[in-house]
Amino acid sequence: MRQESTAFAHAAAGQQRPPGGTGWLLLAPLLCWVVAFVVAPAAIMLVYSFLRRGTLGGVVWEFTLDNYAAVADPTYFAIIVRSIVFAAITTLLCLGMGYPVAYLIGRASEERRNLLLMLVMVPFWTSFLIRTYAWVTILKSQGLLNSILLGLGAIGEPLELLYTRGAVILGLVYTFLPFMILPIYSSVEKLDGALIEAALDLGAGPLRAFARVIVPLTQPGIAAGVLLVFVPALGLYAVNDILGGGRVDMIGNVIENQFKGNARNWPFGAALGTAMLVAFGLTYWVVSRRQRAVEFGR
Amino acid sequence: MTRTIRFILVAVVALLLPPGVGVAPGAESLNLFGWSEYIPQSVIDEFTEETDIEVNYEMYASNEEMLAKLFSGATKYDLIQPSEYVIEALVKEGKLEKLDKAQIPNLKNIAPEFRGLPHDPNLDYSVPYMSGTVGIVVNTDKVKEPVTGYRDVFQEKYKNRIVILDDPLEIVTWALHTEGLPPNAVTKENIEKVKPLIASWLPLVKVYDSDSPKTALLNGDVDLGIVWSGEAAILYNEDKKFTYTLPKEGAHRFIDNLAIPKGAPNKAGAHKFIDYVLRPEVSVKISKEFPYTNPNAEARKLLTPEERANPASYPPGDPKLDTFRDIGENAVLVDKVITDLKAQSGS
Amino acid sequence: MTAVHRLLAAWTGLILLFFYLPIAVLVLFSFNQSRLNVVWTGFTTEWYAALWRDTLLVRSLKNSLIVATATTAISVVLGTAGGWLLYRYRYRAASVLETLVFLPMIVPEVILGVSLLILFVVIGLELGYTTIVVSHVTFCFPFVMAAVQARLAGLDPALEEAALDLGATPAQAFAKVLVPYLMPAIVSGALMSFTLSLDELIVTYFTASAGTRTLPLEIFGRVKKGLDPSLNAISTVFIAATVLAVVAAEALRRRNR
């Protein structure tokens, strides 16, 4: 009875248990949610990708593979590669810039911690549009940054900061930095100070202690941060439009055009979306299986 | 722990909140689906005051967005505001209700140049709401030479000082005008013909912006551009140094219209609203908020001389203007061509 | 370690400066005379006065807050449960389930919006708060789950074992030991959820109704006319209120020590 189940739980603590009735019952809400609101819409997208474009948008129920043939066009491949490059650069910058902040917050006292977290998040509770247009005000040729630099005599002529690739990266890093800081913070927070002390006591310099002890221990947080920055960054095109002048299309722009632009080509948009989904899904699934094998043994 | 429980309770309550909350039971309502910020709230409020009809105003930022939500069937809209080429397609597909002109006596106020147009020659399905053009804005403080057409804009000396609309169909049409081809003959052959011209234009562009091209011009990051007349009018009102010219090769005249989708639940209310908006004193209110071209001849008489003199709202002379036609499948080609060319020219 | 700590503090200060620079500009421009809000032309408080009259804007902020709170609450529950269950139990299709959970993150928002809209129509769910919250939760709870999973990785089994040793049931062990342990991850996830939901635009367009317009929708709608300073004003008012609330909570906590 109670003693038995506790004993059983006791024995199995730390390892994975077979789900049994309770396991499935508890999982049911999540499972239902995923089936209803992830699988179903994804299925709709998949089905649409094989249909024909309707005159006024929407679809015509005729089967075709043309959309996937269109996806294979080299222009879109170049666009996808460019989006991946931007997302990767953003992720790396966020990692480099965000890790120290996450570390500081994670090692801070509990009261300081909450204050710092709020300080980090509050700027992002303003409207994205207004924030990004504020960057336009800062970066434009007659803007804040240029005025300061000119005033200080650091430059002779205003710098062309706006409507460049650099501006887009800046905007992307700005948008996603908190999403790198937060997951890493929660990993850092559980670090046992004694481990770090031990490493330093044994003669490791701070850099070595960092690389050999701290980073490996916070690796799950880093992995989560990378996931939560890279993937959304792939799709965010608004920054490209406002800070980059919309000069080059990202994959997000292309897909948006199919639904919100003249093209009215939903099936093609759906095909692009499905391609991205399959690529991501497969990668994630493989990585996830490997992680589980490492963590829990098979 | 108790906080968590409270949170969950709030969430559950919020979920159980009936979706239609806020609407008085039994009140007559009108589902209006229009362009963002195209119908002043004061106009809507006064309509409700007069007729007791509650107006549910939903907004969209592009014709295609409107079509997407319209055809999903989620909400039955009573009024939509499509542009002229979308009206043509909607009529062709039988998706609009025929208007009962007996319920719209104020239809007579529409100026003659807005009648007999290809998309709806007899105004059987749509009523012009606001019109405008796509033309050339120049910051005359920075650009001293006259800029009278597309060729004048896309010159090497203006490289990286130009803003244009991020609209593939517009761009292709400008090229067609420049090559002397009919602007609505958007065919595969014609697109191929103008491709080199567009390819020479795009590397000169600094900013593509359909939402708010006035920003780049006001900032001084660009000196000239091809934008909506509404944007140009706002710029002119802000500072007279921004002039507006219609390209001599030919320009797009767009007309946004009120129309009733098939199966609208409140057709009578929709007709009432259309007639209400056509009243000169109401129509002029809209013009004051959005300095586009007002197709209502009686309303124009009520404008101030200054408003009437805004060259972007009411371009002088007898310019060469065309509305857009529905181009069907060629829209896909247009989109692809511009995506390709942007990618080739981009930094 | 103090030298390192000082370096970290300096860097964090710089990053916070980076975060708040556009916010400072945003707040400053809320006092901008120019309606077009692009170039500074003078000082005025008229936009704050305008907020009083702009019931639509204020209502949209309220809608956003309701949606964001509900979204965060549900996301926290689903994300924590998901993270924990997938850790605790050996489900056959664990990796598949995990992948499915994270799928909404990669699906372009336009497609997510359109397909959810179609789904809602098919199942006959009227557009409103429910549909918005459902769509927000779908792409927000993966963030909570990722944070929780990261926190669970490498969890010392001795923690749970100790609780069970002392006579706790598995449910009690979860509530009294696991949840406090997971708190930093839950807080991280909740903060991310709230932020994402508050500013969500594209999916919300497709799943909202006329009466449930959120702040981002309202603001985006005004781009064509010009993002006038009243929009800056409402953002300023909101963060000022938040900061005040945090400071007040902090002060209260200190007093109750």
ipTM: 0.91
- The pLDDT-based confidence of B10 (bands split at 50, 70, 90) is low
Q: Residues C43, C31: contact at Cβ < 8 Å?
A: yes
Closest CA to C74 of A33, B194, A179: A33
For B276-296, what is the mean pLDDT?
A: 93
β-partners of residue B33 are B58, B80
What's the CA gap between C167 and A2, in Å, rounded? 10
Q: Residues A259, B68: contact at Cβ < 8 Å?
A: yes
Q: Give yes or no for A217 touching B (CB within 8 A).
A: no
The C-alpha of B332 sits at a distance from chain A's nearest C-alpha, in angstroms, of 5
Asked whether the predicted pLDDT for residue A45 surpasses 90, the reply is yes
Asked whether the predicted pLDDT for residue A8 surpasses 50, the reply is no
Q: Give yes or no for C81 touching B (CB within 8 A).
A: no
Place of tokens 């918005």: C132
pLDDT at C25: 93
pLDDT at C257: 67
By the 10 Å C-beta count (0-12 exposed, 13-18 middle, 19+ buried), B338 is classed as buried
pLDDT at C192: 95
Q: Which residue positions in chain C have pLDDT lower than 50?
A: none
Q: Residues C205, C113: contact at Cβ < 8 Å?
A: yes
- Per-residue tokens: A297: 């043994």
Closest-approach residue (CA) in chain A for B172: A262
HSE, side-chain direction, 13 A CA sphere, residue B188:
1
The C-alpha of C110 sits at a distance from chain A's nearest C-alpha, in angstroms, of 6
Closest residue to A58, CB basis, from B71, B205, B207: B71
Q: Give yes or no for C150 touching B (CB within 8 A).
A: no
Do C82 and A30 count as a contact with CB atoms less than 8 A apart? yes
β-partners of residue B318 are none
pLDDT at B346: 67
In chain B, % of residues over pLDDT 70? 92
pLDDT at B347: 53
What's the CA gap between B294 and B286, in Å, rounded? 9
pLDDT at B22: 46
pLDDT in tens, B126-154: 999 999 999 999 999 999 999 999 999 99
pLDDT at B2: 47
Closest CA to A247 of B221, B347, B195, B174: B347
Maximum mean pLDDT: which of B32-46, B68-82, B300-314, C131-145? C131-145
For chain A, the chains sharing at least 3 beta-carbon pairs closer than 8 angstroms are B, C
Per-window interface: A 23-42 vs B, CB < 8 A: none
Q: Can you say whether the dihedral through the CA atoms of A211, A217, A223, A228 is positive or negative?
A: negative
A153-157, B338-342, C216-220: which has the minimum mean pLDDT?
Answer: A153-157
Q: pTM of the predicted model, to two decimals?
A: 0.91
For residues B315, B320, B323 and B324, what is the CA-based torsion angle, rounded to 10 degrees? -120
What's the CA gap between C160 and C177, in Å, rounded? 7
pLDDT at B336: 93
By the 10 Å C-beta count (0-12 exposed, 13-18 middle, 19+ buried), A111 is classed as exposed
For A249-275, what is the mean pLDDT?
A: 92
Closest residue to C78, CB basis, from A23, A33, A185: A33
β-partners of residue B131 are B255, B293
Do B207 and A165 count as a contact with CB atoms less than 8 A apart? no
pLDDT in tens, B306-327: 999 999 999 888 788 999 998 8
Residues of A in contact with B331 (CB under 8 A): 262-265
Closest residue to A125, CB basis, from C103, C167, C195: C195
CA B143 to chain centre: 28
- Estimate the crossing angle of helix B41-51 against helix B267-277, to 10 degrees: 120
Do B68 and C206 count as a contact with CB atoms less than 8 A apart? yes
Do C128 and B15 count as a contact with CB atoms less than 8 A apart? no
For chain B, the chains sharing at least 3 beta-carbon pairs closer than 8 angstroms are A, C
- Per-residue tokens: B296: 């209502």
Helix (H, G, I), strand (E, B) or coil at B321: strand
For chain C, the chains sharing at least 3 beta-carbon pairs closer than 8 angstroms are A, B
Q: Give yes or no for B142 touching A (CB within 8 A).
A: no
pLDDT at A4: 45
Q: Which CA distances in Å does B42 have to A25, A165, B145, B278, B288?
A: 54, 42, 42, 15, 12
CA-atom Rg of chain C in angstroms = 22
For A19-32, what is the mean pLDDT?
A: 88
Closest-approach residue (CA) in chain B for A268: B332
Q: Give yes or no for C89 touching A (CB within 8 A).
A: yes
By the 10 Å C-beta count (0-12 exposed, 13-18 middle, 19+ buried), B4 is classed as middle
The C-alpha of A3 sits at a distance from chain C's nearest C-alpha, in angstroms, of 9
What's the CA gap between B215 and B208, in Å, rounded? 11
pLDDT at C47: 92
HSE, side-chain direction, 13 A CA sphere, residue A253:
30
User: How many other β-carbons are positioned within 10 Å of the β-carbon of residue A200?
Assistant: 15
Closest CA to B41 of B299, B285, B264, B230: B285
User: How many other β-carbons are positioned within 10 Å of the β-carbon of residue B12?
Assistant: 13
The C-alpha of A152 sits at a distance from chain C's nearest C-alpha, in angstroms, of 19
Do C153 and A124 count as a contact with CB atoms less than 8 A apart? no
User: How many other β-carbons are positioned within 10 Å of the β-carbon of residue A159?
Assistant: 15
Q: Give yes or no for A254 touching B (CB within 8 A).
A: yes
Asked whether the predicted pLDDT for residue A3 surpasses 80, the reply is no
Average pLDDT, chain A: 89
Buried b (16+ CB within 10 A) or exposed e, C232-251: bbbbbebbeeeeeebeeeee
What's the CA gap between B226 and B147, in Å, rounded? 11
Closest-approach residue (CA) in chain C for B220: C39
Place of tokens 């493989």: A286
Per-window interface: C 29-48 vs A, CB < 8 A: 29, 37-39
Asked whether the predicted pLDDT for residue B341 surpasses 80, the reply is yes
By the 10 Å C-beta count (0-12 exposed, 13-18 middle, 19+ buried), B317 is classed as exposed
Residue B139 phi, psi (nearest 5): -85, 100
Q: Give yes or no for C201 touching B (CB within 8 A).
A: no
Q: Give yes or no for A75 touching B (CB within 8 A).
A: yes
Kindly give the pairing relationship between strand B29-35 and strand B54-60: parallel
Q: Residues B14, C66: contact at Cβ < 8 Å?
A: yes
Q: Give yes or no for B208 touching A (CB within 8 A).
A: yes
Rounded to 5°, the CA angle A289-A293-A295 comes to 115
pLDDT at B155: 95
Per-window interface: C 66-85 vs A, CB < 8 A: 78, 81-82, 85
- The pLDDT-based confidence of B75 (bands split at 50, 70, 90) is confident
pLDDT at A1: 44
Q: Residues B92, B326: contact at Cβ < 8 Å?
A: yes
Among A247, A265, A268, pick the best mutation site for testing chain B contact (most B Cβ within 10 A): A247
Residues of C in contact with A277 (CB under 8 A): 103, 106-107
- The pLDDT-based confidence of B5 (bands split at 50, 70, 90) is low
Question: Which residue type does B153 have?
Answer: V
pLDDT at B11: 54
For B53-75, what is the mean pLDDT?
A: 90
Rounded to 5°, the CA angle A175-A180-A183 comes to 135
pLDDT in tens, B93-132: 999 999 999 999 999 999 999 999 999 999 999 999 999 9
Do B21 and C210 count as a contact with CB atoms less than 8 A apart? no
Please tell me what DSSP assigns to residue B185.
-
Do C133 and B15 count as a contact with CB atoms less than 8 A apart? yes
Q: Give yes or no for C57 touching B (CB within 8 A).
A: no
Residues of C in contact with B234 (CB under 8 A): 36, 226
Residues of B in contact with C121 (CB under 8 A): 72-74
What's the CA gap between B39 and C123, in Å, rounded? 33
CA-atom Rg of chain B in angstroms = 22
The C-alpha of B221 sits at a distance from chain A's nearest C-alpha, in angstroms, of 6
